[in-house]
Amino acid sequence: MLLIASAPPAVQAGEQLALPDIGNPSGNVLTPADEQRLGRAFMRSIRNTMPVIQDPLLSAYIQSLGEQLASANEDAIGRFEFFLINSAQVNAFAGPGGHIGVYSGLITTTESESELASVIAHEIAHVSQKHLVRTYDAVSSMSLPAAAVAIAAVVIGAATNNPDIGVAAATGVQAGMMQREINFTRSHEEEADSIGIRTLAAAGFDPTAMPVFFSRMGKASRLYDNGTLPEFLRTHPVTSNRIADAYGRADAFPYKQRRDSLVYHLARERLRVMAFNEPSEGIEFYSKALDDGRYRNEEAHNYGYTLVLIAARKYTQARKIIDSLLSNRPDQIEYIVAKAELEKLSGQPTLGVGLLKQGLGEHPGNYPLSIYYAQALLDIGRPKEVKQILEQQLTGRPDDALLYKLLAQASGDAGDKTQGHQYLAEYYYHTGALNSAVIQLEIALKDRDLGYYESARMAARLKEIRAEKSDLEARNR
Ligand SMILES: [Zn+2]
């Protein structure tokens, strides 16, 4: 079944082939390949509706922490993708295909990396134990893109505490029905806690961090009235029973004190800096905290201070601090990137390019260094070298919207306008902006110098995106 019976067929027969439905109403479980496709469509929908953070350093951190945890959960097979949502909410969610969203507010609220890891380990367990299967059943009669939008809308609705958001409008399904399907049962929550704690211990984190965090959140939740309760508490109620259970489970593991990684602290400061309205606000915060000795990690505070000093164009002061940080840790990617940024803004961009190139030589294929190096090369007008670097990254991250955006710029700067439009189309597609993707491909197809195969390939892609677009519009009515 491609479309639900009551919906008028909106796509032409020939185009339906491009839109496999995600399962069938008899409740067959998705194949791993179908779930991957659903996951990628889910991600496009999330990018279209949520402030997904594109910062390469923060993305690399959450991905690396998530992978550490996923590899310690023996049932977690396949690739997991972790991403950050820019929001002060204390929250995380799991979608299809191992896509796990973490709100920046969760990172800044945790008091240790083990606390952050405990929530991520819990979400990984929802995926590894296939708790989303009932959700797939609920949308199994829909085409894949529509199902992805429906799941994303419900996840966002739950996350923003507004169950009506988008669901009915975007998909034509009854919001209440979907909501019931996606809310995990109590037994799922218990299982996710229990497996999450085991994962924490296996990955070398402190397993008691989960009940400690729950308990603190439980106390904080008394400050909210029910309507503004953070989603993690609303869909994951922290009862005294649940906290006691989690303590009981954690006690089964030997006590493990764990030092937070430096990168955890650096990520927290990076997020703090992003939240300042004015660099001057940040300068006041950091200079005061450093003077008073009020910080959890002095080195990370100095890093945050450097970032706000650079933003405020106080380059001499910023240079002093970043040089001292780099002299202790010449290999620290965050510091290399900050120093390169400082060189660029203070009028010495080629020095910055050199630093990033050297860093990349020591960390071959590193994602943030590749992105910043590519950007730095674009800034000084060397687009041709950029394409190779980014295309190499693309082989491992075919759904990374930021890579397409930079590739579009590199192609355009190098004089290949048609390829620029193609990459821009992919950028829009991966951010869920299908209309803009269609327009870009239409422009690209007007190029008279296109070869036959190139032109046919592009036309096929255009047809695919158009079919997806009209399928979604049919449900939007
Ligand atoms: Zn849960």
pLDDT tens for each residue of 275-287: 999 999 999 999 9
Q: What is the Å distance from ligand 1's center to 261 Cα?
A: 25
Q: What is the Å distance from ligand 1's center to 125 Cα?
A: 8
Reported as a single tens digit per residue, the pLDDT across 402-437 is 999 999 999 999 999 999 999 999 999 999 999 999
Nearest Cα to Cα of residue 459 among 474, 446, 440, 445: 445
The answer to whether residue 379 sits within a structural domain is no
pLDDT of residue 24: 46
Sequential DSSP letters for 47-102: HHHS-B---HHHHHHHHHHHHHHHTTSTT--S--EEEEE--SS--EEE-GGGEEEE
Contact between 85 and 102 (Cβ < 8 Å) = yes
Q: Residue 275's CB: how many other CB atoms inside 10 A?
A: 13
Reported as a single tens digit per residue, the pLDDT across 203-239 is 999 999 999 998 888 776 665 555 455 555 666 667 7
The answer to whether residue 326 sits within a structural domain is no
Q: What is the Å distance from ligand 1's center to 313 Cα?
A: 44
Res. 144: pLDDT tops 80: yes
The answer to whether residue 450 sits within a structural domain is no
DSSP letter assigned to residue 229: -
Residue 130's Cβ-count burial label (10 Å; 0-12, 13-18, 19+) is middle
Q: What is the Å distance from ligand 1's center to 60 Cα?
A: 24
Residue with the larger pLDDT of the pair 272 and 24: 272
Q: What is the Å distance from ligand 1's center to 412 Cα?
A: 45
Res. 16: pLDDT tops 50: no
Contact between 353 and 380 (Cβ < 8 Å) = yes
Mean pLDDT (whole number) for 155-174 = 49
C-alpha distances in Å from residue 391, one per residue of 156, 357, 374, 395, 401:
32, 17, 11, 7, 13
The answer to whether residue 19 sits within a structural domain is yes
Determine the Cα–Cα distance for residues 92 and 126; give it in Å rounded to an integer: 12
Sequential DSSP letters for 304-335: HHHHHHHHTT-HHHHHHHHHHHHHH-TT-HHH
Q: What is the Å distance from ligand 1's center to 187 Cα?
A: 10
pLDDT of residue 18: 41
pLDDT of residue 426: 97
The answer to whether residue 200 sits within a structural domain is yes
Determine the Cα–Cα distance for residues 385 and 88; give it in Å rounded to an integer: 38
Q: Most confidently modeled of 15-24, 25-34, 78-87?
A: 78-87
Tokens of 252: 């089964």
Total count of domains within the chain: 1
- Provide the pairing of β-strand 81-85 with 99-103: parallel
- Point out the least confidently predicted range of 128-142, 175-189, 419-433: 175-189
Q: What is the Å distance from ligand 1's center to 92 Cα?
A: 9
- Provide the annotated active-site residues: 123, 193
pLDDT of residue 163: 43
Residue 380 φ/ψ, nearest 5 degrees: -100, 15
Determine the Cα angle at 162 with ends 233 and 473, to 5°.
Answer: 135
Determine the Cα–Cα distance for residues 112 and 78; give it in Å rounded to an integer: 28
Res. 181: pLDDT tops 80: no
The answer to whether residue 106 sits within a structural domain is yes
Reported as a single tens digit per residue, the pLDDT across 65-101 is 999 999 999 999 989 999 999 998 888 888 999 999 9
Contact between 232 and 91 (Cβ < 8 Å) = yes
Q: What is the Å distance from ligand 1's center to 265 Cα?
A: 25
Domain that holds residue 85: 13-251
pLDDT of residue 34: 86
Mean pLDDT (whole number) for 6-19 = 34
Determine the Cα–Cα distance for residues 184 and 118; give it in Å rounded to an integer: 18
The answer to whether residue 436 sits within a structural domain is no
Q: What is the Å distance from ligand 1's center to 237 Cα?
A: 9
Which residues have CB under 8 Å from 392's CB, separation 6+? 365, 370
Res. 10: pLDDT tops 70: no
The answer to whether residue 18 sits within a structural domain is yes
pLDDT of residue 218: 75
